[in-house]
Amino acid sequence: MADKILVVGEVAEGKLRNVSFEAIAAAKEIAQDGEIVGVLLGEQVENLAGDLITHGADRVTIVEHDKLKYYTPDGFTQALMAVIEKENPDGIVLGHTSIGKDLAPRIATKLDAGLVSDITAVEVVGENVVYTRPIYSGKAFEKKIITSETFMVTVRPNNIPALEKDESRTGDVERLEVEIKDLRTIVKEVVKKKSEGVDLSEAKVVVAGGRGVKSAEGFKLLQELADELGGAVGASRGACDAGYCDYALQIGQTGKVVTPDLYIACGISGAIQHVAGMSNSKVIVAINKDPEANIFKIADYGIVGDLFEVVPLLIEEIKKLKASVS
């Protein structure tokens, strides 16, 4: 369906984000037998090129520059446009991340391309590539096609499975020298606020708290459970409004939409706006004192009880389970 697709890999904490591998899988579905060219932009990224190849890219083009240390729309646009001009791809796929969301619309505008953002599935149907994406924060879904010549897509983390890593795969890694001109927005400083490097939108397990958590202190208990499961902490709007945690953790229609394998809702009543942001999680556990709480209507497993009693027990049992299987 396409001769050549660029996939822009994204680096965080010196590693490729998993969504980059998922983007390769999506691109392969679109391309069928076409070529997948990985692209890496940054200050120092060459060492990560091999990971794109073992996950399905046929070759990789890298652009390294000290002005690419931090993401900026101007720096990354100049670098990516240089790659695009050289490669002349049929389409470009990125992760639907802080960077992908920011960069893709600008590149699409430059290329006069249609862009379907935040896809959760892709399939080839006859002559068309059909993209599925959530609308109304997951209350509904739409299927879209792109009618422009060049196509662009951003892929929502955690939905399209990455290909198995194949160490036997090899491919060329090419460096492109690009002169990066002035940046009109300058990143002066990045203040790390995320805990333990597990990103909420990419986490396989999310432990979320609502008003029932009662305090910022209460959220520490949820963090402990999340750490035990290698997950991230999220929150309902109520908990954020009450000041128990940062808005960056909010899940729901005016917050993040998450689709982890396991969502544990603690002291969350389940307002429609919150449910929109998490109801497509694979497995939902609800812990709430109120047996009538809405959240139980969409939970796979429910425990009616005080989260301050249940969560410590849960941490203990998970520790036991981990000890028994290791």
Partner 1 sequence: MNIFVLLKSTFDTEEKIVIQDGRIDDEGVEWIINPYDEYAVEEAIQIRDEHGGEVTVVTVGNEDSEKQLRQALAMGADKAVLINIEEDVEEQDQYTTARVLAEYLKDQDFDLILAGNLAIDNASGQVGPRVAELLDIPYITTITKLTIDGDKVTAVRDAEGDEEHIEASLPLLVTAQQGLNEPRYPSLPGIMKAKKKPLDELELDDLDLDEEDVEAKTKRIEVFLPPEKEAGRILQGDLKEQVQELVQLLHKEAKVI
Contacting range for partner 1; rule: CB under 8 A; set: 39-47, 61-69, 172-180, 189-197: 189-197
Q: Which of 34, 134, 210, 238 touches partner 1 by CB under 8 A?
A: 134
Q: Which of 33, 193, 217, 326 touches partner 1 by CB under 8 A?
A: 193
Contacting range for partner 1; rule: CB under 8 A; set: 40-48, 52-60, 159-167, 178-186: 178-186
Partners of 128 in beta bridges: 125
Handedness of CA 321, 229, 55, 148 (dihedral sign): positive
CA dist 304 and 200 (Å) reads 26
Identify residue 249 by its one-letter amino acid code. L
CA dist 25 and 161 (Å) reads 7
Nearer to partner 1, 7 or 116 (CB): 116
User: Please, what is the minimum distance in Å from the beta carbon of residue 291 to partner 1?
Assistant: 7
Cβ burial 279-302 (10 Å sphere, 16+ → b, else e)? bbbeebbbbbeeeebbbbebbeeb
Decide: residue 204, CB within 10 A, 0-12 exposed, 13-18 middle, 19+ buried.
middle
Size of site (CB under 8 A) for partner 1: 96
Contacting range for partner 1; rule: CB under 8 A; set: 65-73, 159-167, 169-177, 217-225: 65-73
Paired tokens of 294: 């809405």
Q: With contact defined as beta carbons under 8 Å apart, do 235 and 326 qualify?
A: no
Alpha helix ranges (H) inside 230-266: 237-241
- Using CB under 8 A as the binding rule, whether residue 78 contacts partner 1 is answered as no
- Using CB under 8 A as the binding rule, whether residue 88 contacts partner 1 is answered as no
Contact pattern for partner 1 over residues 222 through 251, marking x by CB under 8 A: -------x----------------xxxxx-
- Using CB under 8 A as the binding rule, whether residue 199 contacts partner 1 is answered as yes
Paired tokens of 142: 């739409």
Decide: residue 14, CB within 10 A, 0-12 exposed, 13-18 middle, 19+ buried.
exposed
- Using CB under 8 A as the binding rule, whether residue 201 contacts partner 1 is answered as yes
- Using CB under 8 A as the binding rule, whether residue 15 contacts partner 1 is answered as no
User: Please, what is the minimum distance in Å from the beta carbon of residue 40 to partner 1?
Assistant: 19
- Using CB under 8 A as the binding rule, whether residue 278 contacts partner 1 is answered as no
Q: Which of 190, 217, 292, 326 touches partner 1 by CB under 8 A?
A: 190
Closest CA to 238 of 263, 264, 202, 214: 214
Nearer to partner 1, 164 or 190 (CB): 190
Paired tokens of 43: 């200050």
Which residues, 299 to 318, sit near partner 1 by CB under 8 A? 299-305, 309-310, 313-314, 317-318
Closest CA to 63 of 50, 84, 46, 47: 46
Q: Which of 56, 138, 212, 267 touches partner 1 by CB under 8 A?
A: 138
Q: Which of 179, 189, 217, 292 touches partner 1 by CB under 8 A?
A: 189
- Using CB under 8 A as the binding rule, whether residue 117 contacts partner 1 is answered as yes
Nearer to partner 1, 61 or 253 (CB): 253
